[in-house]
Structure 1
Amino acid sequence: MRLASKPVGLPAIASQDLVSQIARMLTDAVVAGRLVPGAKVAEAVIARELGVSRAPVREAGRLLESQGLLVAIPGRGFFVRTHKPADIDDLYDLRICIEKHAAILAARNLTPENRTALRRQLAVLYETADTNDPARQVEEDYRFHRLICEISGNRRLLKLFDDLASEMRIVIGLIGRLYDDPHRIAQTHGPLLVAIENGDAEQIGASVEYHLNDAWRGVAGLVRGLPAHVAADLEQDKTEPSA
C-alpha cells in the first residue's frame, strides 16, 4: 500500500519567486520528517495547501530532483528519495575521506579570523537547538562542515563536498532523530573543533572518524528500520507502466 498523499503543514507564501520558496519549503518538510523517504509529493495537494497553481510546484519538484532530494517517476510524479543502507555506507565512507583531509588542511590554514568563524558557527548550532526548528539546525550543521572545507583552501575538495549537499542534508536531518536533546548535535561538534585548533593531524583524523562514524552507525540503523513497504512501493512505481 502506497503512502497516502496528505497535507504536510506548509505555510502560505508570497507570490515572488514561487519556485525557490516552494523548493525550500519542501526541503524543510523532508528534513523535518513531515515528508518521509518514499512519500509521494502530490502536486495538487501541495498546490492547494499553498494556494498556488500546480506549475510552480512542478518546477520546484524538478529543481529538487536535479539536487537529488526527489526522484521523478514518469506518469507517477515526484517522490522523496529513499536511501538504502549501502547508499549510507557509500556516502559516509566518502565523507570521512573528504572531511578528514579538509580538517587537516583547515588546521594548517587556521587564522584568528577563521578560528572565530568556526567558533561562531558552533555557537549558532547551540542557539538553533533552542528554536525548535529542525530544518534550520540541519542547515547550520551542514554549514559547520562546509566551513571546514572552505578554510582548507582546496577548491576542488569544496566542490566535491557541495556536490554531496542534497544527500547530506537528508542524512543530517535523520541525525536529528537520534537525539532526544537537540543540544547533543551541537555538542558532538565541539571535540572536532578542539582538534582542529590543536593542529595535531592524528588527533584531527581520529576526531573526524569518531564524529562521522557515530553518525554513520545511527543513520544506517534508522534507514534499516524504515518500513519495508516504503522502498518496495517506490520500486513498484518505477516498474509499473505509466498511466
Structure 2
Amino acid sequence: MFGNSSNLTDGIYFGESLPQQIAKHILKKIIEGEIEAGEKIVEEDISKELNTSRAPVREALYLLQVDGIVERMPRRGTIVKPFSQKEIIEYNDVTIGLIQMGIDFSQGKWHAENKQSLQRHLESATDECENRNVIEYQKRATQIFRYIFSIANNKALSRFFDEASHILMVFAQSQWNTETMENFHFRLKMSIEAILEDDFVKAKNEIHEALSRGVM
C-alpha cells in the first residue's frame, strides 16, 4: 500500500493520514509540472500509481479542493485550478504580510548559529539560481521562508504561510522563467542579508519587492 511506497522514502509524510499523504503527492506533481493547470486528475490513475484504493484519493482531492488547488467541474471531474492574476496578487499580498510578520516575530532570536543556518539556506538558493534551475530554486526560496517562521516560533503564521504558498508555488511553476527568478533572488538576497545585519525594516521592504517581482 501507499504507506510503504517508495514515494515516501524521504520520510516527509510521516505521521500524516493517508489522504494527506496522497494530497501532498499530487501537489508535488502539480508544482513540478507533471500535472498542469486545467488538466484533469484521474482518481484511478493516482490509485494505481500509489497502489491504493480510490477512496483515499478522493479524500485527498477534497483536501486540495479546500485549499483551492483543484476544483470539481461538471462533466469534467477534478481539474487543477487555473488562477486569475487577481487571485494570485491577493495570495501574494497575504504572503508578503505573513513573511513580514514572521520577520517581526523573529527579532531578538537571530543568534550566531541561526544566522549561519540562514546563510546556508541563502547559499543553497543562490546555487540553484546560478544553475538556472527554476523549480529547485523555488523550493529553496520556500525553505528560507519556512526557516524564518521556525525562528519566529509562531505556528499560526507557519500554517497560514503553507496554505498561501501552495497557491503561489503552483502559479510560479507555470509562470516563472530564469529572468523572473533572477529578479526575485536579487531582492531576496538583500532581504536575507538585512536580517543577518539585524536591519529588519530593510528586510521587510526587500521581501515586499521580491514577492511583488514574482507575480507582476
Task: Give the structure 1 partner of residue 156 of structure 2.
Answer: 156
In the superposition, relative to structure 1, how do residues 77 and 186 fare at CA in structure 2: closer, same or farther (>3 Å)? same
- Give per-residue Cα distances to partners, 1:43-88, cap 9 Å, x unaligned: 2344456666544433432332243322234664211122111111
* Aligned position for 1:68: 68
Query: Which segment drifts farther, 140-149 or 150-159?
Result: 150-159
> In 2, are the aligned partners of 1:192 and 1:207 still within 8 Å (CA)?
yes
> Aligned residues, how many?
203
The one-character-per-residue Cα deviations of 1:14-49 (angstroms, maximum 9, x if unpaired) are 598975564344222211223222221122344456
Q: What do the CA deviations read for 1:167-193 (whole angstroms, capped 9, x no partner)?
A: 233234346x32169777655532111
Cα distance in 1 between the residues matched to 2:105 and 2:174: 28
Displacement after TM superposition at 1:211 (Å): 0.9
Greater CA radius of gyration, 1 or 2? 1
Distance 1:101 1:199 in 2: 15
Give TM-score, length-normalised by structure 1. 0.66
For the 8 Å contact 1:126–1:183, the answer to whether it is kept is: no
Kindly indicate whether the alpha-carbon contact (under 8 Å) linking 2:128 and 2:137 is maintained by their aligned counterparts in 1. Answer: yes
Identity %: 23
Moved more, 14-23 or 84-93: 14-23
Does the 8 Å contact 2:41/2:78 carry over to 1?
yes
Looking at both structures, which has the greater relative contact order when contacts are Cα pairs under 8 Å and sequence separation is at least 6?
Answer: 1
Q: 1:14 to 1:62 in 2, by over 3 A?
A: farther
Mapping for residues 150-189 of structure 1, pairs under 5 Å = 150-174=150-174, 177-179=176-178, 188-189=187-188
User: Where does 1:1-243 land on structure 2 (aligned, <5 Å)?
Assistant: 14=6, 19=19, 22-47=22-47, 53-73=53-73, 76-128=76-128, 134=135, 136-174=136-174, 177-179=176-178, 188-217=187-216
Name the SS for the 2:35 alignment partner: coil
Cα distance change on mapping 1:174 and 1:103 into 2, 3 Å: farther
After alignment, is 58-67 or 48-57 more displaced?
A: 48-57
Stretches of structure 1 that go unaligned for 5 or more consecutive residues are: 1-12, 218-243
8 Å Cα contact 1:104/1:199 also seen in 2 = no
SS in 1 for 2:102: helix
Q: Any idea what SS the aligned residue of 2:170 has?
A: helix
Q: CA 1:153–1:48 in structure 2 vs 1: closer, same or farther (change >3 Å)?
A: closer
SS at match of 1:41: coil
Matches of 1:165 and 1:216 in 2, distance apart? 13
How does the TM-score come out when normalised to structure 2? Answer: 0.73
Distance 1:138 1:195 in 2: 21
